[in-house]
A and B are shown apart, each in its own frame.
Chain A
């Protein structure tokens, strides 16, 4: 297992970077140009006071874009992976929170968002589970990048010789 990872690590790191970076870039890009919707989508979680939720709604898509770009290009991968992992954990907590409070919303993960017709409860609960699973997967990839930040096609310089992991 360790040997296998050692052999392909630089490739795994590249793939992880592209997957998390790509998802963040798409998710951010789809929301960044419909700011009012993004603001409303954050407000729909009813976690933050409306005013603050709106500011988060304006900022979050751009934050996702910035982190996504850094991961894809490969700058300071270890630090960006911490940030990417942190937002994934935040998303998981937010979805779990609406789920336990019985609020029915569209997560607004890739644009859209807002309340949903009560008759679709079962469907919404299933999508909550899928969203949490997806974000958990991405968080695990981010964790991998934290431990193995150096891969192919990256602007990060290779580790100094004393830093063999």
Chain B
């Protein structure tokens, strides 16, 4: 051992530094490349929102009696409670299959929908949830909600849902007001985000997406999300 140590320290300094230098160069160029390609990817995500047309503004009220959920179109005969996390991939699947139907139910005043924006998937969920509630103040919760799922990254907390990008998502679809960007940057809704998160236990919600129709848990019979099954459940009340 001591002989070996002598052999490596004596006279072989040049190779050692050469190797360290090579590793450092590979890692540095790699990091620069990775950061660049990751910002190109982010721009591609924004491109998916180009041409998105926002619907009419829908105001959202906060109902303390329903876990402070964001309530859209109150007073309809059917009430749907949705528990979602903006980073949850299964919520994205739910949104693609059933989101359009739910939007129509709200816009045609057929159902009251209460959104519970959860944020248990990490810091980027918290930021995104805050931004969603900011968008609700602008009357565009539905549009912003849909847009977040369109651009949702494949993996949680990969750096995409930064406040900067969250504002940019709003700008891309047409939420351009100062109040929105200020609300996102300042985290003005973080208290409400926490209230939503804390209300989970009271409703025995353990995962996302969880759906209640008129207060009754919607239990799927088929795997995946079937629009017809959901529609029948809503119509049955």
Contact = CB atoms under 8 A, between A and B. Distances in A.
Interface in A46-90: 46, 50, 53-55, 57-59, 61-63, 65-67, 69-70, 75-76, 78-80, 83
Interface string A8-29: 0000000000000000000000
Interface in B21-53: 22-23, 26-27, 29-31, 34-35, 37-38, 41-42
Contacts of B38: 35-36, 39, 58
Contacts of A59: 27, 30-31
Interface stretch (B3-11, B137-145, B172-180, B187-195): B3-11
Q: A40, A57, A63 — which one has the most chain B CB atoms within 10 A of its CB?
A: A40
Contact of B19 (A39, A40, A80, A160): A80
Q: B8, B34, B154 — which one has the most chain A CB atoms within 10 A of its CB?
A: B34
Contact of B121 (A67, A78, A83, A115): A115
A38 to B, nearest CB: 8
Contacts of B122: 43, 46, 50
B75 interface: no
Nearest to B153: A36
Interface stretch (B99-107, B109-117, B155-163, B224-232): B155-163
Contacts, number: 107
26 contacts: A33-B37, A35-B37, A36-B38, A36-B155, A37-B155, A39-B38, A40-B157, A43-B156, A44-B155, A46-B122, A50-B123, A50-B124, A54-B158, A54-B159, A58-B30, A58-B35, A62-B34, A66-B27, A69-B26, A76-B15, A78-B4, A79-B19, A114-B155, A118-B206, A160-B7, A163-B3
B34 to A, nearest CB: 3
A58 B31 contact: yes
A47 to B, nearest CB: 13
B16 interface: yes
B41 A36 contact: yes
A33 B37 CA distance: 8
Nearest to B45: A36
Interface of A is mostly: helix
B207 interface: yes
A3 interface: no
A39 B39 CA distance: 13
A159 B22 contact: no
Contacts of A37: 154-155, 158
Given A55-B31, A80-B19, A163-B3, A65 B156 contact: no
The 10 A-B residue pairs with the shortest CB-CB distance, nearest first, are: A62-B30, A40-B155, A40-B158, A35-B34, A66-B26, A43-B157, A58-B34, A36-B158, A76-B19, A66-B23
Contacts of B26: 62-63, 65-66, 69
A162 B156 contact: no
Given A43-B156, A67-B23, 17 more contacts: A35-B38, A36-B154, A36-B160, A39-B159, A40-B158, A57-B158, A58-B35, A62-B29, A62-B34, A65-B26, A66-B23, A70-B19, A70-B23, A78-B4, A78-B8, A117-B207, A162-B7
Interface in B56-81: none
Contact of B34 (A32, A44, A69, A78): A32
Q: B30, B121, B153 — which one has the most chain A CB atoms within 10 A of its CB?
A: B30
A159 B3 CA distance: 11
Given A43-B158, A44-B157, A32 B19 contact: no
